[in-house]
Amino acid sequence: MKLTVLGCYGPYPAAGGACSGYLLEEGGCRILIDCGSGVLSRLQRHLKPWELKAVVLSHLHFDHTADLMVMRYALDYARMKGLFHGALPLYSPPEPAAEVQRLLYKELFEAAAIGAGEPLQIGPFHFTFMEGVHALPCLTMRVETEKGVLVYSGDTEYFDGLVELAAGADLFLCEANFQEEDMVHSPANHLSAAQAARMAARAGVKKLLLTHLHPERRAEVSLEEARQYYAAAEVVREGESYTVGE
């Protein structure tokens, strides 16, 4: 399984950066997980959006969905030129329903609801979802193929279920929006780098990649804080590809 980080910031991108967006590839099947601001431009370095097998959204906050609004125009163009037929499957939590409806311009996306405990198979990718702890319904996800296991936190606070979901994963792609200085104020909705690292250690994952970085915080500080608990932690690099498993 190949993971390419198209964007890694939240809730807004750093200068020249992009919000959450991750391209998964195996056996010719390519899936986009989340599609925040700046992701569509980066995606087109690898393929045209109508060549995707599907889009899977962790949740419906704009830093994870914004570029779907302009992807609709690309799909509409491709349809007019005969390059794209039907609709691109779009899997997301069903709420807020108004945000799902906002994306269904000219029926270019085929919306399908996903939820905790519901399995999903897309090509070689088998998804297992668990509800995270966030301001909107948000799904953490375990993605398995015959070659590897990726676990993605989406946006969430700390909860023990995510440790269970991540158990033994080849790669744990985990949000780290906060740093230790933020935790004094008990902030909601997100994890610190240290929390992500403690979960990675408890879950026995092979590699931890810190993502959903705040654009105003220094990534090297997040990495230093994470490595106090998990030595194999890394900060994701936009544009970088990672092999998951074999």
Q: Among residues of the chain, what percentage have pLDDT more than 90? A: 96
Helix/strand/coil for 63? helix
Q: Which pLDDT score, from 0 to 100, does residue 118 have?
A: 92
Q: Which pLDDT score, from 0 to 100, does residue 224 have?
A: 97
> pTM value?
0.96
**Could you identify the residue written with the tokens 């948000």?**
138
pLDDT over 80 (residue 246) = no
What is the rounded distance in angstroms from the CA atom of residue 95 to the CA atom of residue 11?
A: 19
Q: What are the C-alpha distances in Å from 128 to residues 93, 121, 173, 214?
A: 13, 9, 15, 27
| Structural domains in the chain plus CATH codes | 2-243 (3.60.15.10)
Find the mean pLDDT for residues 7-22.
98
